[in-house]
C-alpha cells in the first residue's frame, strides 16, 4: 500500500463524515419545520484491486437520502374554520400540490397556509396551494398530471351570488289521506274564490341569478288510491310565492294564496310502489313549452322547476327518496345549491379535500377541491428549497386523486404534520461522526509523518 493511497483513503473518510455532519446539521435546524422529512447518510465502500503482496486501500462514498415517505406526527391547531389561515395535514400517503407563481408545480407536506391580499393561500416558503375549482359541472380533475389545477383563492367568493341549479327534496306523504277532486287541485286554480284543497304543503328558498331569494311553495295533493297493479298517486305542484294572491286588502282573495298569477312552475304526478311505498315513477304534466322531466324513473327521479321567468335558472330537484307510508306528512330533506351575494363566515375542509364556504346567511357552497398527489417511489423525489419535492424519472410520474380514495391518506383540516427529525438520534449521530472524523484525521496525520521520514532519508 502506498503512503499516498493511505492519505487519500483517510481524506475520503473525512469528507464522508463531513457530509454526514452536514445532513445532521440540516436535520437539527429543521427539527421544528412542519412537514420536513429527515435526511440520512449511508456509506458504501469503494474497493481497488490488489495483489497478494500489495494492498491498495480504497475509499468510502457518502450517499444522502431523504426519507420522504416517513409519516410525521400530527399537531392540531385552531385554524380549522377560518378562511384567513388554513392548516392542513395528511394522515397516510399523498402530497399537497403547490405552485411557484411561474407555472411550476411541486409537492409538499408542509400545510400551513395564510391568505394573501389577493386571496390566494401561501405557505411560509412562498408556494401557493393548488386545487380544482368546483363548478356546477363538478371539478375539472385529471388523473395523470397537474392539468386543471388553479390557485386556491378565497377572495373570489367573498362577495358573490350563485343561482340555484339543483337540489334535493324528500318527504313522506300520508298514504291514508283522502283523494282530492280534480277541480280542487292547486294546478287547476286559476279563478279567485275557487276551492283549492292541497293535502300537504311546504316552502323552500332558492336564489336567482343576482342572488335574490326566490321562495317556492310546494303543494302535495293525493289524486288516486293504490290499485292492484300500482300504488297511490300524488300531484306535486310548485309555485313562485311572489305570484301568490294577497290575503288582505283591496282585491284580496278568499282562497289566498290561490290563485297564483303566474300559474304553476312545475306540475308532476308521483306514483308509488304498491308493496314498498317508495317512489316508482314520475310523470310531468306541466303545460307544453315548459322545461320539465317526463317519464323519469324513481331511481333518477327529478322535477324540473323553470325559474327563467324570475331571473333564475332551471332547477333540477332530486325527489327519488319520497315515500308514501301510512304516517302523517313528514319533510325529510330540503337542500338546494346557490347563495345570495354575501361574505364568507367560515370554511370547512373535508377529508376528501372539498373546501365548503358557509356564508353569513347560513347557506353553504363548495368552492374548491384540494387533490392529493402520489408517486411510486417518493424517497427518490428531488428535494428542493422551500420544503418541496419534484417528481422525476426515478420517483415515477405523478398520480392525482382525492383524500381517502385510491390508496391516498386523509386530508385533515386544522392540523399540521411535524418534522420527522429525532433530536436525540441526531445528537448521537453527530458525536459518532465527530469521533470518526477525528480518527480519519489521525490516519492522515500518521501518513504525513511517514512522508516526513521518507523525505528526511534523502537528507
pLDDT score for 46: 81
Q: Is residue 432 part of a domain?
A: yes
User: Where would I find the beta strands (DSSP E) of 92-232?
Assistant: 96-99, 105-108, 112-115, 121-122, 128-133, 150-151, 160-162, 166-172, 200-207, 213-224
Q: What is the DSSP letter of 7?
A: H
| One domain for residues 190 and 230 | yes
Q: Kindly write down the DSSP assignment for every residue of 267-278, as one continuous string.
A: EEEEEE-TTT-B
Residue owning grid cell 455532519: 21
Does residue 40 share a domain with residue 122?
no
The parent domain of residue 272 ranges over 161-342
pLDDT at residue 298, as a whole number: 41
Q: pLDDT at position 459, please?
A: 65
Q: Find all residues with CB under 8 Å of 18, minimum gap 6, and list them.
A: 437
Q: What is the DSSP letter of 376?
A: S
Supply 297's cell numbers.
324513473
Q: How many residues are given for the chain?
A: 459
Query: Are 211 and 286 found together in one domain?
Result: yes
204 and 93 in one domain? no
Query: What's the domain count of the chain?
Result: 3
The CB-side HSE value for 289 (13 A sphere, CA atoms) comes to 2
Interior/surface letters 108-135, b for 16+ CB within 10 angstroms, e for the rest = bbbbbbebeeeebbbbebebbbbbbbbe
In this structure, the answer to whether residues 212 and 233 fall within a common structural domain is yes
State how far the Cα of 413 lies from the Cα of 409, in Å rounded to an integer. Answer: 13
- CATH code of the domain containing 317: 2.60.98.20
Q: What is residue 381's three-state secondary structure?
A: coil
Residue 438 lies in a domain: yes
User: Residue 292: what pLDDT?
Assistant: 39
Residues 323 and 272 in one domain: yes
Tell whether 326 and 180 lie within a shared domain. yes
Q: Are residues 196 and 308 in the same domain?
A: yes
Low-confidence ranges of the chain (pLDDT < 70): 1, 49-53, 80-83, 136, 156-160, 248-254, 286-300, 458-459
C-alpha dihedral sign at 15, 20, 25, 26: positive
Amino acid at each position: 500500500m502506498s503512503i499516498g493511497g493511505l492519505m487519500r483513503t483517510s481524506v475520503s473518510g473525512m469528507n464522508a463524515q463531513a457530509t454526514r455532519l452536514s445532513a445532521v446539521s440540516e436535520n437539527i435546524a429543521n427539527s421544528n419545520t412542519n412537514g420536513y422529512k429527515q435526511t440520512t447518510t449511508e456509506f458504501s465502500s469503494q474497493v481497488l484491486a490488489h495483489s497478494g503482496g500489495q494492498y491498495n486501500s480504497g475509499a468510502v462514498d457518502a450517499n444522502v437520502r431523504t426519507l420522504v415517505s416517513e409519516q410525521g406526527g400530527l399537531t392540531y391547531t385552531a385554524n380549522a374554520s377560518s378562511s384567513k389561515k388554513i392548516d392542513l395535514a395528511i394522515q397516510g400517503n399523498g402530497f399537497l400540490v403547490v405552485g411557484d407563481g411561474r407555472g411550476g408545480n411541486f409537492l409538499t407536506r408542509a400545510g400551513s397556509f395564510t391568505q394573501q391580499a389577493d386571496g390566494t393561500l401561501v405557505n411560509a416558503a412562498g408556494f401557493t396551494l393548488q386545487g380544482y375549482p368546483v363548478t356546477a359541472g363538478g371539478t375539472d380533475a385529471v388523473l395523470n398530471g397537474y392539468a386543471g389545477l388553479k390557485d386556491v383563492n378565497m377572495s373570489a367568493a367573498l362577495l358573490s351570488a350563485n343561482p340555484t341549479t339543483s337540489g334535493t327534496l324528500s318527504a313522506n306523504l300520508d298514504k291514508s289521506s283522502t283523494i282530492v277532486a280534480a277541480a280542487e287541485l292547486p294546478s287547476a286554480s286559476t279563478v279567485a274564490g275557487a276551492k283549492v284543497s292541497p293535502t300537504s304543503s311546504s316552502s323552500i328558498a332558492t336564489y336567482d341569478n343576482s342572488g335574490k331569494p326566490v321562495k317556492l311553495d310546494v303543494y302535495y295533493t293525493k289524486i288516486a288510491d293504490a290499485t292492484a297493479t300500482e300504488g297511490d298517486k300524488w300531484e306535486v305542484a310548485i309555485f313562485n310565492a311572489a305570484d301568490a294572491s294577497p290575503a288582505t286588502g283591496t282585491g284580496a282573495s278568499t282562497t289566498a294564496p290561490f290563485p297564483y298569477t303566474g300559474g304553476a312552475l312545475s306540475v308532476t304526478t308521483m306514483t308509488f310502489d304498491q308493496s314498498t311505498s317508495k317512489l316508482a315513477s314520475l310523470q310531468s304534466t306541466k303545460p307544453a313549452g315548459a322545461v320539465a322531466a317526463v317519464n323519469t324513473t324513481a331511481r333518477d327521479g327529478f322535477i324540473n322547476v323553470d325559474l327563467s321567468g324570475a331571473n333564475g335558472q332551471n332547477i333540477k330537484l332530486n325527489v327519488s327518496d319520497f315515500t308514501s307510508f301510512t304516517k302523517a306528512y313528514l319533510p325529510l330533506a330540503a337542500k338546494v345549491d346557490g347563495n345570495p351575494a354575501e361574505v364568507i363566515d367560515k370554511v370547512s375542509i373535508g377529508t376528501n379535500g372539498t373546501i365548503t364556504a358557509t356564508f353569513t346567511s347560513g347557506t353553504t357552497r363548495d368552492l374548491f377541491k384540494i387533490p392529493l398527489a402520489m408517486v411510486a417511489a417518493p424517497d427518490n423525489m428531488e428535494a428542493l428549497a422551500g420544503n418541496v419535492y419534484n417528481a422525476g424519472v426515478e420517483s415515477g410520474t405523478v398520480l392525482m386523486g382525492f383524500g381517502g380514495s385510491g390508496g391516498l391518506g386523509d386530508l385533515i383540516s386544522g392540523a399540521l404534520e411535524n418534522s420527522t427529525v429525532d433530536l436525540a438520534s441526531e445528537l448521537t449521530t453527530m458525536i459518532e461522526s465527530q469521533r470518526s472524523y477525528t480518527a480519519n484525521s489521525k490516519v492522515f496525520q500518521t501518513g504525513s509523518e511517514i512522508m516526513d521520514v521518507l523525505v528526511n532519508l534523502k537528507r
